[in-house]
Structure 1
């Protein structure tokens, strides 16, 4: 007699298979996404842990050391006031990434809520989608400039200049970048409404709120996760653009965009001051975009099943 039982490999015995293992296996085969993930983690470690290792105060002024090139004491040199550029880069990265992640979270909440309501409730579909089209038709940068100019002084006086500008940046970017997420979620919800498991749950009288929370939302998380990664990149660029125009954080509060703005006047004499923050923004945005591409492929069951 021959043994016809299926052979169980050591790997299968050691690591039970599930959806997230399959997603990871597909994600790591995307070389660009894997490299982007490594770069993004490296940047996060640098901006979160770096200040505890490189303890120079980013706001400390040393006139005697101003406009220095890279040295052992200042690996990225100093600015026109003698402030250490490496310390300011790490402090600025923490702020830029915090603005990107927080505003992305606000954008996803708004977009997912509007998309689910528009897709599930037919009476709300028309008004909410026309509202979405209205926001899509508005020019983003001029709208952000108007919001900053209108509310900057009020929030700064109430919460302080740094906290007030942070709240303003997050709110302004979040409420002007939810539209694509809403359209994506709406399309998925319209398709899910006709699936058998949703029709079966509806036939036994499942309330709408339970239907949305238990059956609809878990099945739209894949495109929402992809939208989240791309939203972080877009938010970082938007914050950097506003800071570069001088409408972001105050001069003594560094962000990557603010460092670019301060370095423009010294571009001919000290081009490295533009290079470092520009490189940080480019690497962060590029790595997040590649992560989004990898997640999009990994979360697509048609690709994952090949």
Structure 2
């Protein structure tokens, strides 16, 4: 009798990451909530066809009903449709600004960690940005470039580019510091020293050996960056410095509802609840990713 052995392909490490991620209850609940919110803001306007910008003075300041599940505002516009439309804008700003901040932070972190002669200069630049007060800096950027970009790309397009650029260039510093620390540790690993000993050029060293091994902190920074970008955009829109009044975002809906807070508090409740649930779910997802991507925790 002979033993028959079968050679199994090695298990993909991402399955181990998923197995660990599933054990984090908060992360799974956050993932479900975020998926529901994302589905609602992306596909809701096709399901709920009522125009969120349509003005109907005869239906203004109505409470929840079958025709208007969340009621109407002072101009008779449907609040449910405006929350869905505002979610698309807020999500788009958050994801795009996060991507910009991630690219800048990863670039600065890798260059500072890998090239010793650039480390001091780039880290002092990072410290300078960290020392700047974020909100006043954003206000100055918006006041300086708002009219120029609006004239070039239109009111909505110009403000979108301005929001994404302003949030992105003021949110990359934490990612840069995290990536730099990991790159400094990776430079002394055996596989990097072996690759350097056979004459691997710096560009290939970074793209082949460094970047794939700093993917974990980058992914965690990405999830947390979305939450920070959504909060920043909402704060700027709440201050009246965001998109035009007829272009709804969650922050703009909060700004519009403040004047009617005592008579109609639900106008502030719904967009505020959407922001809170989105940010909370993304933070839980980031917490779960951090644990799942940590090899010291994975498998416990």
Which interval holds the TM-score relative to the shorter structure? over 0.9
**Matches of 1:33 and 1:140, distance apart in 2:** 29
**2:172 corresponds to which residue?**
178
Name the residue aligned to 1:28: 22
Query: For the residues of structure 2 that align with 1:16 and 1:89, how far apart are their CA atoms?
Result: 47
For 2:192, which of 188, 194, 198 is the aligned residue?
198
Question: What does 1:103-182 correspond to in 2, within 5 Å?
Answer: 103-182=97-176
Residue 74 of structure 2: aligned partner = 80
The answer to whether residue 286 in structure 2 is matched with residue 292 in structure 1 is yes
Structure 2 unaligned residues grouped into runs of 5+: none
Q: Please say if 1:51 is aligned against 2:48.
A: no
* SS in structure 2 of the partner of residue 157 of structure 1: helix
Secondary structure of the equivalent of 2:64?
A: coil
- The CA deviation at 1:305 is 3.2
Q: 1:131-280 maps to which residues of 2 (within 5 A)? A: 131-280=125-274
Once the two structures are superposed, residues 103-144 of structure 1 have per-residue CA deviations (whole angstroms, 9 ceiling, x without a partner) of: 000000000000000000000000000000000000000000
Structure-1 separation of matches of 2:3 and 2:164: 61
Q: Deviations over 1:83-114 (max 9, x none)?
A: 00010000000000000000000000000000
How far, CA to CA, are the matches of 2:97 and 2:10 in structure 1?
A: 36
Structure 1 residue 17: Cα displacement: 2.5
- Secondary structure at the aligned position of 1:57 is classed as coil
Residue 57 of structure 2 corresponds to 63
2:295 to 284, 288, 301: 301
Compared with structure 1, are the counterparts of its residues 184 and 262 closer, same or farther at alpha carbon in structure 2 (3 Å cutoff)?
Answer: same
| Structure 1 length-normalised TM | 0.95
Matches of 2:94 and 2:256, distance apart in 1: 21
Q: What RMSD over aligned residues (CA atoms) do the two structures have, in Å?
A: 1.5
Question: What is the number of residues matched between the two proteins?
Answer: 299
Find the aligned partners of 1:223 and 1:305 in 2 and give their Cα distance.
19
Task: Please identify runs of 4+ aligned residues in structure 1 that moved more than 2 A.
Answer: 3-6
Tell me, what secondary structure is at the counterpart of 1:246? coil
TM-score, scaled to structure 2 = 0.97
Q: In structure 2, how many angstroms separate the alpha carbons of the residues matched to 1:134 and 1:16?
A: 46
Secondary structure in structure 2 of the residue aligned to 1:266: coil
Q: Tell whether the 8 Å contact from 2:20 to 2:299 is kept in structure 1 after alignment.
A: no
Give the C-alpha shift of residue 18 in structure 1: 1.3
The runs of 5 or more residues in structure 1 that have no matched partner are: none
Equivalent residues in 2 for 1:81-96, closer than 5 Å: 81-96=75-90
| In structure 2, distance between residues paired with 1:16 and 1:111 | 33
For 1:116 and 1:48, locate their aligned partners in 2 and report how far apart those are by CA, in whole Å.
35
| Structure 2 residue aligned with 1:282 | 276
Partner of 2:93: 99
Q: What per-residue deviation string (whole Å, max 9, x for no partner) do you get for residues 19-77 of structure 1?
A: 11111110011000000000000000000000000001110000000000000000000
